[in-house]
Amino acid sequence: MSNTVRVDIEAHVANVTLSRPEKMNAVSLEMFAQLGEIGDRIAADRSLRAVVLSGAGDCFCAGIDTAIFTNDGPGLDASALAPQGASPANLFQRAAYVWREVPVPVICAIQGVAFGAGLQIALGADIRYATPAARFSIMEAKWGLIPDMAISVTSRGVVPMDRIKELAYTAKIVEAAEALEMGLITAIHDDPLAAAEKTAHDIASRSPTAVRSMKQLFGAASSATDGESLALEARLQLALLGGEQQREAVLAALEKRTPNFSD
């Protein structure tokens, strides 16, 4: 299996890079599998505190590799549409949904285009930064398909449903400014990768247990009742109060120094 996704780890931050620049990082079956496998490895690594997700070359991701649909392509196995292991997501959904399963924040840097599968992978991240010239599309209607990479889950609370429907029904392309206005992206930066890395390292300087608890809390919010959300807030806070990392955060703030959190 070729390495269609690169992973570099430094200072508690994992940089995950889609690495098929000659194909505009179009997602092959290999890349689908590797994204899920890498997400699992990151989720199991307690030393990691944040993830930066990006694409090599001029584009984040142009969508699915259309060779999958041709007679010369590798073909599709129905088992790929079944949930993978303990995850509720199948092979294709996990390429996006796995970033929700990762217990630390994921920041996505987008340049060029994020079309189809590319946009759905980006929606799996917690935060999305894009260049002013970036373009976005839910393009599956062009191929007679529905967007099926967990977008029905990852778009909740991010983009109003009528806007998602409009994008999906029409397969239209939107520019970064419109994507920002509708909530599809978090912010526009001239260098989104540098901005994503800065945010990731800022996050990595905070209490890892608190940040992981925040991601758990916000991840549950879209499907929980008010009572469930409030109870989860209290339960997570109780587990943090008086803990080693919480005490260190308080001392560092009072002493005006950088906190030192053990791995």
How far is the CA of 229 from the CAs of 109, 218, 224, in angstroms? Answer: 30, 9, 6
Contact 200, 50 (CB under 8 A): yes
- Give the Cβ contact number of residue 252 at 10 Å: 16
Q: What are the residues whose beta carbons fall under 8 Å from the beta carbon of 155, sequence distance 6 or more?
A: 123, 161, 164
3-state secondary structure of 187: strand
Angle at 127 between CA 196 and CA 50, to 5 degrees: 60
Directed axis angle between helix 208-221 and helix 226-240, to 10°?
170
* CATH tag, 5-203: 3.90.226.10
**Where do the domains of the chain lie?**
5-203, 206-255
Give the residue ranges of the chain where pLDDT is below 50. Answer: 1
Contact 197, 15 (CB under 8 A): yes
Contact 149, 95 (CB under 8 A): yes
**What is the β-pairing status of strands 127-130 and 187-188?**
parallel
Alpha helices in 9-63 (DSSP H): 29-44
Q: What pLDDT sits at residue 222?
A: 84
Residue whose tokens read 């806070």:
237
